[in-house]
A and B are shown apart, each in its own frame.
Chain A
């Protein structure tokens, strides 16, 4: 019941928004439904903790047996955490765009389509249905950037569309190849939980693995496929980039996790060094590119690439520290990039510039927003006491312990740890150039955060600190599932 209600709430919200007359009414409706979704979800978590089943609200049905299309839904603990993240990001991005007046109906409708896509993706286990939910978000993302974006949004929206479609064509190719290999032996051969029973030839497994993994990593911004991220995130509207960085990129990483742990662990084990090298390149390359940026949004987008490299690194360690750190980074980075983009949006709204060279001294005039900015920055830097410290520490620890006799892992740990230095460099740089220093005269009149911005910012930063101080809350919740994934290998 919880699953049906959380999936139907976005659809109902879209219908309600469609028939709203006033511009302010749209926002009230959107906020109401987003909070309702979070409440339903909390009830689900409350119920799930009492149960011992692996999947909450599990449901299976064959739809087209000879094509392998079936429904298999259910939520595990990772799914619950990702759904909570999506829900919180949705609420805070609606709050941030409270004063938004340019075609708000279309804007918030697209928001709920994005929300639906994420909710569907985290609760389904059939490859074809996963693909559908992943693709559901592509057109709304394109329109969000094209209509409401800033800067070179026309070019970057087309780039986003083409590169995401490239990713989905790779996934589609994988699904088609799989279906052609395998017909009418098991009626739901696209169900990823039953994937190991198929017994495909090893060569075919390799081909399908690479198609699917690279397809998902286009969405998750792994190194050779990261090129669309900065432009898209940099030119999207505030709430759009919050959602893109906070949730949509996580869909790709979560997809990679499914491919590696559920479908082809043996192929992944064989090629793990290759993927660890890719992840390291992503981390370092992203960080180096970040250092050279002058636009706040682009800077944050490049740092997202670097942080998402850690997720991939954690996935391929195949130990509990790596996997836990990887999931922790998924959540922590979602909240953190949401906060950073929200604050950058607030600054842009007041000063009409994102360029580091024209900003400065904001702490004197808009202390609340600057404080939020500092909190988000410290989290991005990996300061102890914030959630990303836990995640980075776990991943690095896992890398060191992955193989005690291997020189490769020791070097990998050292290289990955460089990200701490790089992130300190760029975060201190933007602190100096935006919040500290002399205040340009033209920014004297700007207003500090309004109530909705205060609410959204406090919510996100509060969660970041809570997750940093009490990681045990999350570990206890997902411990059982992580051990299960590793035992299944």
Chain B
């Protein structure tokens, strides 16, 4: 029992998956209120696991369990809960196979948890695949829609390519080492030549592909556009936590200590600058809602990439702090977009003209979300970006100026949309049937808005995170 408790999240997710399979086979509660409540309870029970007593760190060759991974998995669980809430709204109009949806979702989360805890390259690689395959199926989940299938196919082909890159990079290690732990991969062997650094470059390229950073971002736009909105939200948030954590480990513990670090760090800086700029400039001209959100998230992640070029403790702290704000903000934005999409079949932002006259609450929530995404103080988004920029050490003054200029561009496109919401409309379209919010929805949205508006002022939380990661 003591041995099993270190696998608590993974075991719990496995049990949930098995339970849901049994529900498909034997139960008749599918698509009823009861079923959704059960899914919700499963997702919430995952949060409670955090409070189980923590055993002293076990030195397993395959698996790490520490307060840090425990906390990160808590955030991933929280993200899962938010996704589950979003999907409820989606299933009101798409009554197909909800049980399979949650099985696939939990499988992907299992993969994410495994990446976070992986201490062996093999586990890492298997977990990587375990994240990708359920997500491919989920992208095509809206199978009556051609675009959804297209996005699934694109996701499949292009991520296979990215995985190929990563695998090639990892395989170079075989030429130098007999030890395949993650630490051995990151720390350089005593005698290495420059050829060994190619594996770093391939792994960086592969992971950037999976995250969707600038030169490798084109797949992300189409996939986000086609996938069901809860899945766009999923792709946008929790897998990126896992990938970026591995990236941070690679950069802060490995690349920073190589003799050729300037070349490698320059590559990362270029990736980051390109992401910020391309994301912002394309978002300026994009009218389609989900493509816009994809571009804006690319530019957000560019800033993250800057912030992690520092010591491991600071990088992890700032990254997790950012990810919490990013999760909350994206949640409310995608939630409202999801609801409005089901209600009015909107495609572009101009369909949301004068939203304030038809749906006040949605408008308010969207404005709060955009203000935080744009990084306007004193929202949570500003604090997280500020800490990221302050934490970073490896950039010149020109890069800093470019980042600050990009903040202004970001502001322009977010506020262009906010302007649309407040445009005066003389005839209100009668066809806009407004579905009321359920009470639980209002509750969750209000709490998220509160976190976004006031989260930055709880500075003790930042200090707690810093202590946790150092």
Contact = CB atoms under 8 A, between A and B. Distances in A.
Q: Do A and B come from one complex?
A: yes
A110 to B, nearest CB: 12
A136 interface: yes
B422 A136 contact: no
Contacts of A147: 422
Contacts of B405: 169
Contact of A162 (B377, B378, B404, B411): B411
A172 B460 CA distance: 22
B162 interface: no
Interface in B180-222: none
Interface in A127-167: 131-132, 135-136, 138-139, 142-143, 146-147, 154, 157-158, 161-162, 165-166
B41 interface: no
B400 A173 contact: yes
A135 B400 contact: no
B377 A63 contact: no
Nearest to A143: B422
A486 interface: no
B168 interface: no
B377 A135 contact: yes
Contact of B415 (A64, A142, A168, A172): A142
A140 B459 CA distance: 25
Interface in B406-435: 407-408, 411-412, 415, 419, 422
A147 B424 CA distance: 8
B241 to A, nearest CB: 23
B303 to A, nearest CB: 13
Interface string B378-415: 10001000110110000000001100110110011001
A371 interface: no
A136 B377 contact: yes
Interface in A60-105: 63-64, 66-67, 69
B284 interface: no
Nearest to A65: B463
A416 B95 CA distance: 75
A4 interface: no
Interface in B259-294: none
A179 interface: yes
Contacts of B459: 63-64, 69
B361 interface: no
18 contacts: A63-B459, A63-B460, A64-B459, A69-B459, A135-B378, A136-B377, A138-B376, A139-B371, A146-B419, A146-B422, A158-B412, A158-B415, A162-B411, A165-B411, A169-B408, A172-B404, A176-B400, A177-B400
A132 B422 CA distance: 25
Interface in A376-420: none
A203 interface: no
- The 3 A-B pairs of least Cβ separation, nearest first, read A135-B377, A63-B459, A132-B378
B contacts with A: majority SS: helix
A63 B460 CA distance: 7
A132 B382 CA distance: 10
B125 interface: no
Contact of A180 (B390, B404, B407, B408): B390
Contact of B376 (A67, A139, A179): A139
Nearest to A133: B378
B382 to A, nearest CB: 8
Contacts of B387: 67
B70 to A, nearest CB: 23
B462 interface: yes
A69 B386 CA distance: 12
B362 to A, nearest CB: 15
A166 B404 CA distance: 9
Interface of A: 63-64, 66-67, 69, 131-132, 135-136, 138-139, 142-143, 146-147, 154, 157-158, 161-162, 165-166, 168-169, 172-173, 176-177, 179-180
A207 B362 CA distance: 44
Contacts of A180: 390
B408 A158 contact: no
B419 A169 contact: no
A157 B418 CA distance: 12
Nearest to A173: B404
Contacts of B412: 158, 162
B408 A162 contact: yes
A112 B27 CA distance: 55
A147 B420 CA distance: 11
Given A131-B377, A132-B377, A176 B389 contact: yes
A118 B433 CA distance: 42
A173 B401 contact: yes
A176 B390 contact: yes
Interface string B107-148: 000000000000000000000000000000000000000000
| Residue of B400, B412, B419 most packed against chain A (CB within 10 A) | B419
Nearest to B459: A63
Contacts of B371: 139
Contacts of B376: 135, 138-139
A147 B423 CA distance: 8
A165 B390 contact: no
A161 B378 contact: no
A431 to B, nearest CB: 36
Given A63-B459, A154-B419, A173-B400, A166 B408 contact: yes
Given A64-B462, A147-B422, A158-B415, 16 more contacts: A63-B459, A63-B460, A64-B459, A64-B463, A69-B459, A132-B378, A139-B371, A142-B415, A161-B411, A161-B415, A165-B411, A169-B404, A172-B386, A176-B390, A179-B390, A180-B390
Contacts of B400: 173, 176-177
Nearest to A128: B386
Contacts of B407: 165, 169
Contacts of A63: 459-460, 463
A67 B422 contact: no
Contacts of B462: 64
A119 B387 CA distance: 26
A165 B377 contact: no
Given A69-B459, A169-B404, A179-B390, A136 B415 contact: no
A131 B386 CA distance: 12
Interface string B342-375: 0000000000000000000000000000010000
A169 B378 CA distance: 14
A176 B463 CA distance: 19
Nearest to B371: A139
A66 B415 CA distance: 33
A135 B383 CA distance: 13
A136 B422 CA distance: 20
B230 to A, nearest CB: 29
B408 A136 contact: no
A136 B390 contact: no
Interface in B226-261: none
